[in-house]
Structure formats: C-alpha cells, structure tokens
Amino acid sequence: YIDKEDRFRHSKWLSFMNKRLRLARRLLKETGIFVCAIDDYEVAGLKLLLDNIFGEQNRLGTCIVVHNPGGRQDEKFFPTAHEYMLVYAKNKTSANIGTLELSDEKIQQYKQSDELGSYKLRGFRRSGSNSRREDRPNLYYPIYVNEKTSEMSVKKFKGSIELLPIDDNGIERCWRWNADTFEEKKLSYIELKKVKGQIGLYVKEREQDNVGEKPKTIWNKPKYAAVSGTSTLKSIFNTTNKIFDYPKSVNLIVDLLQITTNKTSLILDFFAGSGTTGQAVLELNQQDKGNRQFILCTNNENQICEEVTYPRIKKVIEGYSDKKGISANVKYFKTDYVPYVLTDNDKRTLVSKSTELLCISENTF
C-alpha cells in the first residue's frame, strides 16, 4: 500500500508491475496475447513500461471501454466514464485477432435483398488512401455496361458505354477488384445503378459473407457496463448486498476472449479479483463447444478467494438462480513459502503438497 502523498508512488507501482509483467511475457506462447485493464491513474506509465517489455511494435491496440456511461458525478471536472485495455502480442507476426458477432446496428444496414440474400451497397470505385491509379495500376481498367439490359463486361460490346474509375474531381482512382475477379463475381455481387443522373457500379456486400465484425478501439455497449458485473455477482450469490467493488462485466470478458483465444487456449488471470475471467471462459466454452482452461491467481485479502472467487466459479458450474450449470471442474490451491528441505521427511511433505499441481501441469490429473 502506497500513500497518495508519496512522491515515489508511481515509481513504486511500476516497479511492482515490472516484475509481474516480465514474468507474464515469459509465460506467453509465441502466438499469445496479453491484455491489461487499467484506469487513468497509471495508464501513461504502464503503456511505456509495456512498450519496453513487449516491444512497441507488438502493441496491437489501446482500447477504451465505457464502463460507466453516466460518468462519476462526484468528480469535480470531467466525470470518468471509461477505462483502458492495453493489448500486446508476444510476437505480432504470429498473433491473430478474431471478430465479434455482428451487432444489431450492423445487421440492420443490410436493408436490400435478392435471391441470394440480404446485402448493402458500397461503391465499386475505391476511395481514400491507396486508391489512386498510380497506387494500384492493375486495378485501373475500363468496364463496359448497358444501362437498359444491365449487361457488364471488361470487353466492349454493342450498345455499351465505357466506365472508368474517375471520381467527381477528375482524379483517376481504381476499382476494388481486378478484371478477372470482376468477371467472376459480377453476376452475384455487382449492381448497376444510376445516382444523381450518373451511372455507377456498386458492390453488394452480403450479410452471409460477413464472418463477423472487427473489434474497434472503443468498446461501448450497455452490456459492458460495470453495473452488469455487479448484478451478475448479486444474482450468483442470491443477495442484494454488494459482493465486490467494481467487478468487470462477464460480457466484456467473453467478447475479449472471443477475439484473443481459440477453443483450446489456456487463459491466465493473475489479478483475478472476483473471478470474472473464470466465469467468462466457462460461458464461452458453453457457447462455442470450446475446451479452454483457465488459471486464476489472487491473494486472499478479506477472504476474497475463499468467499468470492472460488464459490463463484463453483456456483457457475453447479448452476445458480435460474441459470443451468456448466459442465466443468475447478480446484484451488493455497500457496505458501517452502521451508528449508533438510530431511527425507521434509522432501516427502513437499512432494505430497505439490503432486496435484504437477499433475495439472502435465495434464495428467
């Protein structure tokens, strides 16, 4: 515990974190991903420390999580409504970030439909960066179309007019696909449409082809709010009393695990708190038939491990309130300092206390 008036409080905190973060990196697989949730107080120093340990080039993103949409109204200046998630890879070239399920807002964008399903339109001519003719010369070519018959081809035909990817300012752009891909997909994915008196080509972005939504740097959904984490705990323990200060939303961690893990991942949370990560792993396994495992570590300050973390996971497995149980198992161990091992009896005692951990380590439990 460091006094708020301590001139070296930031330095001491970083020293405390430095040892743990270096060890965490050593424990990561080559494809592993590290996520650290942090508030305003230490985020600046922590980001520099993580850049130093993991390498700035391995930083995947700095995300903002809106966990208190109304903001803390007791603050004098700017009511805090968010915290941060700093995301790093052990090796960026080996890491992978998955996608989230499409949001209702995104699904509603697919308003048009044809015999192949729902879709939305976007211009076939590229725009923005890397869209000029000189950037992608192989994507600049004429397309011939007939407005009346909707026929399209990269080869000129009778009754056709020529379209080139030139924007309203006369800048030569390029198409989204090369000529071969255009010919292959035009019947299912290209629509000829007249907008403001001008004929244009549009891509049908189909809902069925969208495997998911890329996670953005701002995570702002009602289900991520801290109040969700609080109500979940109260439901699990069947009480109206506060169980734990500022528990994270299970929904937030489930989505985080969905994009950073696969079905056989091992997830370590070494500041486990109330055990949200453990519950999230169990729920995600149930959703996608995964076989993820988790290791939670926490001190037992105020008996949190014995009275909150472990009972919570146990109740999730067995079922609580109107929630059915989840097929899994859980065991917890207490750590202690090892005394000097001098006699054969000392060795026997040490072996008996460490056998189960060794079995778990070797997956032969």
Summarised one tens digit per residue, pLDDT across range 150-178 is 999 999 999 999 999 999 999 999 999 99
Q: Specify the amino acid at residue 297.
A: C
Instruction: State the DSSP H helix or E strand holding residue 324, giving kind and residue range, or none if neither.
Output: strand 323-324
Phi, psi of 268 (to 5 degrees): -110, 125
pLDDT over 70 at 302, yes or no = yes
Quick check: 247 and 226 in contact, CB under 8 A? yes
**Per-residue model confidence (pLDDT) at position 161:** 95
Task: State the pairing for strand pair 151-153/143-146.
Answer: antiparallel
Percentage with pLDDT > 70 across the chain: 100
Please give the mean pLDDT across all residues of the chain.
92
Summarised one tens digit per residue, pLDDT across range 28-52 is 999 999 999 999 989 999 999 999 9
pLDDT over 80 at 203, yes or no = yes
Which of 331, 332, 312 has the alpha carbon at shortest distance from 323?
312
**Per-residue model confidence (pLDDT) at position 231:** 93
**Per-residue model confidence (pLDDT) at position 123:** 94
Alpha carbon distances (Å) from 38 to 62, 67, 71? 11, 12, 16
Say what the pTM is: 0.79
Helix, strand or coil for residue 170? coil
CA distance 97 to 254: 14
Summarised one tens digit per residue, pLDDT across range 59-102 is 999 999 999 999 988 888 999 999 999 999 999 999 999 999 87
Phi, psi of 316 (to 5 degrees): -65, -40
CA distance 349 to 9: 41
pLDDT over 90 at 340, yes or no = no
Which of 86, 5, 88, 76 has the alpha carbon at shortest distance from 42?
86
**Per-residue model confidence (pLDDT) at position 348:** 92
**Per-residue model confidence (pLDDT) at position 353:** 86
Q: How many CB atoms lie within 10 A of CB 127?
A: 12
Half-sphere exposure of 210 (CA within 13 A, CB side): 19
**Per-residue model confidence (pLDDT) at position 192:** 94
Read off the pLDDT of each residue in 310-338 and give the average, rounded to a whole number.
Answer: 91
Which of 203, 161, 174 has the alpha carbon at shortest distance from 186?
203
Phi, psi of 306 (to 5 degrees): -75, -30
Summarised one tens digit per residue, pLDDT across range 222-236 is 999 999 999 999 999
Phi, psi of 165 (to 5 degrees): -80, 65
Q: Looking at the chain, how many residues does it have?
A: 365
Quick check: 288 and 255 in contact, CB under 8 A? no
CA distance 258 to 214: 11
**Per-residue model confidence (pLDDT) at position 336:** 83
pLDDT over 70 at 341, yes or no = yes
pLDDT band for 365, please (50, 70, 90 cuts).
low
Which of 211, 357, 241 has the alpha carbon at shortest distance from 308?
241
